[in-house]
Amino acid sequence: MLAVEGLRSGYGSIVAVDGVSFGVGAGETLVLVGPNGAGKSTTIMTLAGLVAPLGGRITLDGVDVTGADARARVGHGIALVPEGRRVFADLTVSENLLVGAHRLPRSALASGRARVLDLFPRLGERSRQLAGSLSGGEQQMLAIGRAIMSVPRLLLVDELSLGLMPRAVDDCYAALAALQRDGLSIVLVEQSTERALGVADAVVALDSGHVTWTGTGLEARSNPGLLSAHFA
Amino acid sequence: MLALDLLIQGLVQGAIYALVAVGLTLVYGLLRILHVAHAALFTLGGYLGVLVTNATGSFALALAVAMGVAGVAGIAVYRLAYRPLLGRSPLIALIASIGLFIASEEAFRIIFGAHGLSYVTPPLQAQIEIAPGISLSLARIAVVVLAVVLLSALGWLSLSTRTGVAWRASVSDPPIAQAFGIDIERVRHLNFFVGSALAGAAGVMVALLNNLVEPTMGAVPSYKALAIIVLGGLGNVRGTLVAALALGVVESFGTIYAGHLLDRDAIAFAFLILVLMLRPQGLLARS
Ligand SMILES: Nc1ncnc2c1ncn2[C@@H]1O[C@H](COP(=O)(O)OP(=O)(O)O)[C@@H](O)[C@H]1O
Ligand SMILES: [Mg+2]
């Protein structure tokens, strides 16, 4: 579904990701792990079109989207849950969801909202509250809900559980499982790897911008020593 | 009765400040640029108001033309002056903006003369008694009505339409807004059009109250509007409106009660300095 070949990306003269390749099948979840500064966020932001690639190819069901900007990417069915959640703090919960559906017609809003509120009933109670006033966990739910509103085929999630209370982490992983059952393809970045490996179909470990290990979720789960070797 | 009269005069002045300052705070919110040249669009509006009214006899048409042309000119300022500088330090855009503002004053002087223009037959001059002993010209009433109508329309646009929500999302986090398909370039155009049209309307109304437009008429509104948006908490529209009205009222009372010490503009700045000493984060700081 998603194919990344020899991706090179960075900021000005800084090359943060170099020669990264991986693929995600339809309905599969790929987990990207690696230490701080490994290039996980750069990879995700490049997939979302917010960091311009310096080389390599990104294709989605065979369509080359390497040169497409962020606006075009969402049209191709890519949706982003960015690191730090980055909800629109001065907008209400309901308005944040509306922005998620920006490129969809008004007629699609009700079904999108229903799907999000089904995943996160708490957002319904908070719909008129400013996103900035929500707890970290609720903001992460909103960030996921906002992404779901765009009716994506591929969901990019950067640091799902970072800084959240255990209870909120459970809620977010439960939602992720529901989205997996719906057949969504997912790229998940996590530093706390154990939880993430539990939902992984495939695992890619990054370090200093390079792939250091690739395997199935099963391999990663059954061989914890393998992964920990990749964390200095 | 004097107090009520002063309050009303202050609100009229504050309404004008609000129309000018809102555009400035909108630009700051979206681009983090101090758009000094904004006042050139205020002046442009004033000139068009007088010229079109004198040519056609219709003040309403003049107002519409002034707002439309100022709005389009605002978009041109963005495209020609700011867009090429976006990746650079905001100081560079500020310098470009100051240069543009000075150049605009000279352009008005060269094209229309140094002595300014007046309405041949000033419209809306009738006096109306709004309370016993207090009468107000139709022009002053029109200033307040126009400001309320235009700012309410802006409020409706930004709060109740998808375009407005996309606009505010773009102010809040431009890259993420783009990642959900918002065309940020369109948002910027809309932002400059709306802000500049409001400044153009303010220029028309000031030209009406003074029955005079001149090349330098933008200078005082320019620096006062800058001070107002700081007072309102840079980029905060509600704060800007409150600060504009407060400044209008303080000036109005100040000229009567402290006018022998300081002139109107000095009172305004004494007030601004005082407030910023007490509340450096602006009048309506966010939590
Ligand atoms: N906006 C940026 N500008 C310059 N360098 C950056 C920027 N963001 C990240 N980097 C650098 O790129 C490298 C990879 O960072 P990142 O992709 O954020 O890693 P991770 O998400 O795995 O922690 C780091 O060395 C980091 O310092
Ligand atoms: Mg990161």
Structure tokens at B137: 């010209």
Largest CA distance in chain A: 51
* Assigned domain for B283 exists: no
A-interface mutation test, from B180, B234, B286, B287, most A Cβ less than 10 A away: B180
* Assigned domain for B86 exists: yes
Q: How many contacts (CB atoms, under 8 Å) link A and B?
A: 64
**Residue B169 is nearest to which of A70, A88, A150, comparing CB atoms?**
A88
B→A contacts (Cβ < 8 Å), by residue, are 162, 165-166, 168-169, 171-173, 175-183
Closest residue on chain A to B174 (Cα) = A88
Write down the CATH number for the domain with range A2-231: 3.40.50.300
| Domain spans of chain A, in order of start | 2-231
Report the CATH number that the domain containing residue B124 is assigned in CATH. Answer: 1.10.3470
What would the pLDDT profile of B150-192 be if each residue is shown by its tens digit? 999 999 999 999 999 999 999 999 999 999 999 999 999 999 9
Pairing between β-strand B134-137 and β-strand B127-131 as defined by DSSP bridges: antiparallel
pLDDT for the residue A232: 45
pLDDT for the residue B287: 40
* Top-confidence residue, B274 or B282: B274
- R_g (Cα) of chain B, nearest Å: 19
Contact A46, A117 (CB under 8 A): no
* Residue A206 bridge partners (DSSP): A211
If one counts the domains in chain B, the total is: 1
Sign of CA dihedral B189, B191, B192, B196: positive
Nearest by Cα to B184 from A179, A136, A70: A70
Cβ neighbours, 10 Å, residue A157: 28
ipTM of this complex: 0.95
Separation between Cα atoms, residue A77 and residue A81, nearest integer Å: 13
pLDDT for the residue B74: 98
Cβ neighbours, 10 Å, residue A198: 13
Distance A16 CA to ligand 1 centre (A): 6
| Backbone torsion region of residue A155, taken as left when φ is above 0, otherwise alpha when ψ lies between -120 and 50, otherwise beta | beta
Residue B272 has pLDDT above 90, yes or no: no
Rounded average pLDDT over B190-214: 97
Contact A156, A47 (CB under 8 A): yes
* Assigned domain for B284 exists: no
Low-confidence ranges of chain A (pLDDT < 50): 232
Rounded average pLDDT over B109-116: 95
* Assigned domain for B249 exists: yes
Separation between Cα atoms, residue B160 and residue A94, nearest integer Å: 12
Atom 5, ligand 1: residue with shortest CA distance = A11
Separation between Cα atoms, residue B25 and residue B57, nearest integer Å: 34
Separation between Cα atoms, residue A157 and residue A176, nearest integer Å: 10
